[in-house]
A and B are shown apart, each in its own frame.
Chain A
Amino acid sequence: MTVEFLILVALASGILAYFVGRLNKVLGAVVTIVASMFIFIMIGYMMQDINAGTTFNYNAVEYMPDFVTFMVTYLGLFFAILVTFIFAMVSFFNPFFVEKYKYPALYSMLYLFSLAGVLGVFLTDNFMVLFFFFEFIVWSGLFLIPLGKNNKAAISYYAFSTAGSFALLYAIFIMFAETGSYNLHLGLATVSGTTEGTYVLALLAFAAFAKLGAFPLNVWLPRALGKAPDPITAVFSGGLEKLGAFVAVLALVKLAPVGDIAGTLGGLTEATFLFASQYIVATLGAMTIIFGTLMAIRQDDAKKLLAYSSMSNGGYILVALSLGGTLGLSGGLYHIVAHALASAAAFLAIGAVSRVTGTTKMSELGGMIHKMPVTYMVYLIAIISMAGIPPMGGFISKWLIFQAVIDNGLILIAVAVFFGSIGSFLYVFRPLAALFLGQELPQHRDKAKEAPFFMLLPMLILSGLIVFTGVMPNIFLDFINDVIAELGGTGLLLGDYTITGVNGVLQPTLIASVFGVGVLIAFIIFILLKKSKKVGLMDTYTAGNFIYTEELMHYSLDFYAPLERLYEKHINITKDFYKKLENKVVDFGRMVKYFFFTNKPEITVFWIIILIGFLLWGEL
């Protein structure tokens, strides 16, 4: 099973899905399930092979020498298996959603095309192939996003993605000029540590920031994720955004950090060296965390809220990867896994709600838990992981990242990291309280019902994995250690059940079991006591007022109003900047139009004079 075969399968089944979809919308979407499950399983087999060590290079086939080559590396496989898994899980949602969209057949086709793109980006050792598939994903996304609510979001996405792609392309050209080959590993190794390396690092970092939606290239992310079709949102946040993380790994880990050593900061006992580039990226990552958190707190649309949370989690990944070292790398890579699973599950849960209610605005929803308890539990597990609370996967990665930050003695970045971590309790709780809990609003009471089995299945699998990554992380960390070894670092010290960090040992299984024991005790106390009488939700303490409408008893709009008031004047900084930039571009365009594409006589005369002057240059 070679990579090119899998890519061909993805492309062919995409075309098949289109034609089947023309005949029957739902059947076309079913093709996406079959194809993406097949590809995920095949990638799983590849992982077995690579672990056995037998066929490590088995598909370094060169069609045109140095032009189209594929290669399976631990790093590529790590990303590929994660993202194809997210694609496979989300694809179960497609049959239930395609009918809502204008071009259902196109939707199914593009879904599989982006999957093909993902395989191409991660499983190659050739920069041109990487760039081609990178663009292929952007192109598919460009048509997928407007199938949702509106197409303005797609323009924003396209603008930022293209800027990122161009940055990537220039970086590739610089490396090509140095080595004369498009080989990824050779190129990165050659420029590493040279002056060109600085440019390459800056350009690759730009591409990574654009893809991850990190500050200051964050404008497209909430727009695109807020407006895109619900399954696509989950794919973007859980999968395609991780392309940015992949490029970040290339830039921050495979290239040597550049700039002066910013100091021997950080310790009485040992000196920790960080380079200027690491500081800059870590600082921008920290700003991403703070900005994403503050913006997520004030959103009313649940999808936008989760989009900003994706942005803030992208910040964690950047901070971790830029700090490097054993803890930073494993923390960053593990955070990629934990966030991919958690955000996919959360977006799917919100998608399931939006399917029955037709809205994701929290102010229009309430009390969904009474009709959709399973979806609620999925969302709960996802947000516990997102907030970095044990016993879920998010805790392990945050614990590693905290240690990396503390070990480097980066106080100001630590402020951002801690702020984002506590702030995430605030924003993830909002959909929980406003959308699932609270009063059951009459307008959704009759329509709402639990999602069908095939939608619950992927959500439950994701939830199971979220818990599993938190209870038994060593299985995953083992693989991450292989990735780190391939990148030239040292892996974490793992015991049977323990993880050893710089300043402490963690035993996630123990935490989970103690957690279970505690809940068991509480449950026994609860059961042994007298049974309580069930009363309705409207039968509450109202300080003597008589209230009969559910809306008046549901607190969901402007949940954190007192907190938002403190910073609401400053929220439009990046938006204003891009607005100004847009105006400048428009002005420039007007100027060009005025001078080159006009039929005004004075301009024509002006050009004629210039031309005559040019022709007579030196004659006069």
Chain B
Amino acid sequence: MIDILLMILTGIGVAFFGFVLQTSIAGVNRKVVARVQKRYGPKWYQEFLDIFKLLSKRSVTHGWIFDFGVIMALGVIIGTAMFMPLTSSFMAFDGYDNFFIFVYLIAVGMLGMAMSASGSGNPLASIGVMRALTTMLAYEVPFMIVVLTIIKLTGTSSLSEIGLFQQVAGNSWFLIALPIGGIVAVMALMGMLGKKPFETYIAPAEIASGPMVEYGGKQLGMLFIMHEITVFIEVSLFVHLFLGGAENIVLFIVKYFVVYTILNIISSVYGRFKIDQVVLFFYKWPLIMAITQAFIAIYLGWVI
């Protein structure tokens, strides 16, 4: 019993660590992007200020489903983050860091947010939700095919074991071992994070900031927290799957920072796709590349 409590507390610690880490790095990245665009940029802790300000404000609600969706979204994302291994040996629930759990639990978070947004009764929010789900349909399939290749090669779907597999002498990171798949994964990750050119569902100045249009105060603050933890999960997935996991926590933070910053820099120079262009884009080159990579790696055994 004490064991389980301890594990759960560790898990909550992991989720909290993820939140702090991602929020700080997001703050730093606001500065990085500002420099790319020749601005000065806000302080690195601006994101924390935003969230705490929102949490302390009074807000409006559109009925119980509006609140329930927010609670479900944040709660499930916290639950998902609790499974995330930080290094290849440190995680709250040893042996249960199954890749599919992350993919599907993130979807529950999305569902909660979508439900809450639709429950607000604002059609702009529904349009945002529609675009978010459509984007998800686009990026998820190529990404899953690349991960299929990795699972087939390593024989495990546990994130930490995939990380350890890459650390064995003679095996290189999957970003290098599967170069075509690696490119696909980077593109899919940009879609997951909602970075340009795939930020159609938020689309500032077009659909009044997408699914979030009706939110304010604590609901918005909670969704911000949820967003930060979701980003933490998605970037960590990439680090564990493609960048050889992490031997220690410092290496994890460094890899995490590099991935997130590079994506932000790429994103800051792009325009935005229309939603059907997003779908067409992902089902053309990334999917073909992912399938090619899978064929090469699984059937021909050509792995660098």
Q: Which residues of A contact B (CB under 8 A)?
A: 265-269, 367, 369-370, 373, 376, 380, 384, 387-390, 395, 399, 402-403, 406-407, 409, 411-412, 414-415, 418-419, 422-423, 425-426, 429, 432-433, 437-439, 502-507, 510-511, 513-523, 525-526, 529-530, 532-543, 553-555, 559-560, 562-563, 565-566
B118 located at the interface, meaning its Cβ lies under 8 Å from any Cβ of chain A in the complex: yes
- When C-beta atoms are compared, the residue in chain A nearest to B70 turns out to be A526
Q: Say yes or no: A425 contacts B133, CB within 8 Å.
A: yes
- Write 6 A-B pairs (CB below 8 A) sorted by A numbering: A395-B104, A503-B155, A504-B158, A514-B79, A554-B123, A566-B280
Choose among A268, A369, A390 the residue that contacts B108 (Cβ–Cβ < 8 A). Answer: A390
B72 located at the interface, meaning its Cβ lies under 8 Å from any Cβ of chain A in the complex: yes
Least distance between A53 CB and chain B CB atoms (Å): 35
Q: Say yes or no: A414 contacts B144, CB within 8 Å.
A: yes
Instruction: Give chain B residues whose Cβ lies under 8 Å from the Cβ of A269.
Output: 155
Q: Which residues of B contact A (CB under 8 A)?
A: 8, 11-12, 15, 55-65, 67, 70-80, 82-83, 93, 95-96, 98-101, 104-105, 107-108, 110-111, 114-115, 118-124, 126-127, 129-131, 133-134, 136-137, 140-141, 144-145, 148, 151-158, 208, 213-214, 217-219, 221-222, 274-276, 279-280, 287, 291, 294-295, 298-299, 301
A412-B291, A437-B65 given; A530·B217 CB < 8 A = yes
The total number of A-B Cβ pairs within 8 Å is 257
- When C-beta atoms are compared, the residue in chain B nearest to A417 turns out to be B144
Least distance between B59 CB and chain A CB atoms (Å): 4
A532-B58, A562-B275 given; A390·B101 CB < 8 A = yes
Q: How far is the CA of A540 from the CA of B152 in the complex (A)?
A: 49
- When C-beta atoms are compared, the residue in chain A nearest to B77 turns out to be A518
Instruction: Give chain B residues whose Cβ lies under 8 Å from the Cβ of A389.
Output: 104-105, 107-108, 111
Q: Say yes or no: B291 contacts A418, CB within 8 Å.
A: no
Instruction: Give chain B residues whose Cβ lies under 8 Å from the Cβ of A554.
Output: 121, 123
Q: Say yes or no: B74 contacts A534, CB within 8 Å.
A: no
Q: Say yes or no: A409 contacts B298, CB within 8 Å.
A: yes
Q: How far is the CA of A188 from the CA of B119 in the complex (A)?
A: 54
Q: How far is the CA of A468 from the CA of B175 in the complex (A)?
A: 40
Instruction: Give chain A residues whose Cβ lies under 8 Å from the Cβ of B279.
Output: 562-563, 566
Instruction: Give chain B residues whose Cβ lies under 8 Å from the Cβ of A418.
Output: 140-141, 144-145
Q: Say yes or no: A414 contacts B214, CB within 8 Å.
A: no
Q: Say yes or no: A390 contacts B78, CB within 8 Å.
A: no
Q: Say yes or no: A535 contacts B96, CB within 8 Å.
A: no
Instruction: Give chain A residues whose Cβ lies under 8 Å from the Cβ of B140.
Output: 418, 422
Q: Say yes or no: A267 contacts B83, CB within 8 Å.
A: no
Q: How far is the CA of A412 from the CA of B145 in the complex (A)?
A: 9
Majority secondary structure, A binding face: helix
Q: Say yes or no: B123 contacts A553, CB within 8 Å.
A: yes
Given contacts A506-B98, A542-B122, 6 further A-B contacts (CB under 8 A): A409-B152, A505-B95, A511-B96, A518-B76, A534-B63, A565-B276
Q: Say yes or no: B107 contacts A555, CB within 8 Å.
A: no
Instruction: Give chain A residues whose Cβ lies under 8 Å from the Cβ of B80.
Output: 518
Choose among B75, B95, B114 the residue that contacts A523 (Cβ–Cβ < 8 A). Answer: B75
Q: Say yes or no: A533 contacts B76, CB within 8 Å.
A: no
Q: How far is the CA of A399 from the CA of B79 in the complex (A)?
A: 19
Q: How far is the CA of A587 from the CA of B181 in the complex (A)?
A: 53
Least distance between B72 CB and chain A CB atoms (Å): 6
Q: Say yes or no: A426 contacts B291, CB within 8 Å.
A: no
Q: Say yes or no: B79 contacts A517, CB within 8 Å.
A: yes
A518-B76, A562-B276 given; A541·B111 CB < 8 A = no
Q: Say yes or no: A530 contacts B96, CB within 8 Å.
A: no
A384-B111, A390-B108, A514-B83 given; A522·B71 CB < 8 A = yes
Least distance between B142 CB and chain A CB atoms (Å): 9
A432-B115, A522-B222, A566-B280 given; A532·B61 CB < 8 A = yes
